[in-house]
């Protein structure tokens, strides 16, 4: 986060406190109540590709607009939590009015004490420092492949998989009535040493891949016999794909990680000749992804 982002964050907080001071009570949380404009809610749900099978959890749910819109427009289910009991009551009334009270429920609960494991989609509109405080829990509690969508604030060193800025008519905070949307997919775990064999021309060739991981970013070395090549790629949940050229042969691997195995396919091409083969890899050493070794103190320093 840049210095100007921080200043904007603090300006945001000050502006919010002014807007919401009339509502403040003993249960007020870290992040004040500010609504996400409805066009931004709709775009966030679109970016997260929310659908019928999804379970959406909104941490700090305000008047319930995120989960209610997910239920009403996309057929999803889910819940929201907020510290403010009046907002929780309002959100439950809004869900009933929208005819989705059976699929969108709101609880008065601290987001830090909320079980988020059932989410397939997580939405947040929290201050940047709160995003950093919950980041480790999002990365370790949510299933790989869970989508996270955040209004206005990023997650420090965790690079978004997608981001955009859009007009937010009627937005009461920030500059120029504009909003940012950040989107991440919770990465699986790929770090370690993997082994497999391929027989492109009927002759088996052994491969070994050493992979480091920081969030969804993976990098390492692919080896076969005396040859080696650098590999750089990004996971999308548990989906892994990378390419490398060894001795004039291009290898493109794509598959899905399941515990200590990968299943997928390999495309092997030399010149204009290409073939596709099944690809099964086994993890023979497991390493911790770098981002999981960070303490909260180190994570919060990413604000600077
Ligand atoms: C910026 S508002 C977002 C409201 C809604 N999600 C939206 O986008 O319109 C943040 C909300 O988080 C709630 N909140 C702040 N700290 C919280 C905490 N520790 N646990 C639960 N809710 C909290 C506030 O009461 C407020 O309603």
CA 223 to chain centre: 31
Residue of the CA atom closest to atom 8 of ligand 1: 36
User: Counting atoms of ligand 1 from 1, which one is nearest the CA of 151?
Assistant: 8
CA distance 124 to 138: 11
Look at domain 3-186 and name its CATH class.
Answer: alpha beta
Q: How far is CA 194 from CA 168, 175, 187, 202, 214, in A?
A: 47, 48, 18, 22, 17
pLDDT digits (tens, 9 = 90+) for 181-205: 999 999 999 999 999 999 988 889 9
Q: Which residue has the higher pLDDT, 169 or 10?
A: 169
Break the chain into its structural domains and give their ranges. 3-186, 192-288
Is the distance from the beta carbon of residue 16 to the nearest atom of ligand 1 less than 6 Å? no
Q: At 81, is the pLDDT very low, low, confident or very high (cuts 50, 70, 90)? A: very high
Atom of ligand 1 nearest to the CA of 84: 25
**Any bridge partners for residue 150, and if so which?**
124, 182
- What pLDDT, in 10s, does the model give residues 199-245? 988 889 999 999 999 999 999 999 999 999 999 999 999 999 999 99
Distance 61 CA to ligand 1 centre (A): 5
Task: Please write the tens of the pLDDT for every residue from 255-285.
Answer: 999 999 999 999 999 989 999 999 999 999 9
DSSP state at residue 272: T
Separation CA 72–CA 39 (nearest Å): 15
Q: Residue 190: CB within 6 Å of ligand 1?
A: no
Closest listed residue to residue 303, CA positions, set 29, 34, 9: 9
In this predicted structure, the answer to whether residue 3 has a pLDDT above a threshold of 80 is: no
Query: Measured at the alpha carbon of residue 80, what is the angle toward residues 163 and 146, in degrees to the nearest 5?
Result: 45
Q: List, for residues 35-52, the tens digit of each pLDDT value.
A: 999 999 999 999 999 999
Helix (H, G, I), strand (E, B) or coil at 197: strand
- Determine the distance separating the centroid of ligand 1 and the alpha carbon of 21, expressed in angstroms: 14
- CB atoms under 10 Å from CB of 246, counted, come to 17
pTM, entire model = 0.89
Tell me the CATH number of domain 192-288, given options 2.40.128.30, 3.40.50.200, 3.30.160.340, 2.120.10.30: 2.40.128.30
Whole-number Å distance between alpha carbons of 104 and 36: 17
In which band, very low, low, confident or very high, does the pLDDT at 155 lie, cut at 50, 70 and 90? very high
Nearest CA residue ID for atom 23, ligand 1? 60
């Amino acid at each position: 986060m840049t210095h100007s982002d921080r200043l904007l964050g603090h300006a945001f907080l000050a502006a919010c406190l002014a807007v919401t001071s009339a509502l403040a009570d003993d249960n007020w949380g870290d992040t004040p109540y500010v609504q996400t404009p409805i066009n931004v809610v709709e775009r966030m749900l679109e970016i997260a590709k929310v659908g019928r099978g999804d379970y959406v959890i909104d941490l700090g749910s305000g008047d319930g607009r995120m989960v209610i819109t997910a239920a009403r427009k996309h057929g999803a289910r889910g819940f929201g939590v907020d510290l403010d009991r009046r907002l929780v009551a309002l959100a439950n009334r809004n869900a009933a009015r929208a005819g989705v009270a059976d699929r969108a429920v709101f609880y008065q609960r601290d987001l830090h004490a909320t079980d988020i494991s059932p989410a397939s989609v997580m939405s947040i509109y929290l201050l940047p420092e709160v995003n950093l405080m919950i980041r480790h829990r999002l990365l370790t509690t949510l299933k790989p492949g869970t989508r996270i969508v955040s209004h206005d604030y990023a997650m420090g060193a965790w690079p978004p998989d997608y981001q955009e800025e859009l007009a937010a008519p009627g937005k009461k905070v920030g500059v120029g009535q504009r909003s940012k949307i950040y989107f991440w997919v919770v990465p699986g775990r790929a770090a370690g040493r993997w082994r497999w064999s391929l027989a492109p021309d009927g002759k088996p060739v052994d491969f070994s891949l050493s992979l480091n991981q920081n969030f969804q970013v993976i990098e390492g070395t692919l080896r076969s016999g005396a040859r080696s090549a650098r590999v750089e790629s990004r996971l999308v949940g548990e989906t892994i794909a990378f390419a490398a050229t060894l001795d004039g042969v291009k290898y493109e691997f794509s598959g899905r990680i399941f515990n200590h195995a990968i299943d997928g396919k390999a495309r092997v091409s030399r010149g204009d000749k290409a073939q596709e083969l099944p690809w099964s890899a086994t993890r023979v050493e497991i390493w911790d992804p770098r981002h999981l070794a960070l303490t909260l103190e180190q994570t919060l320093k990413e604000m600077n």
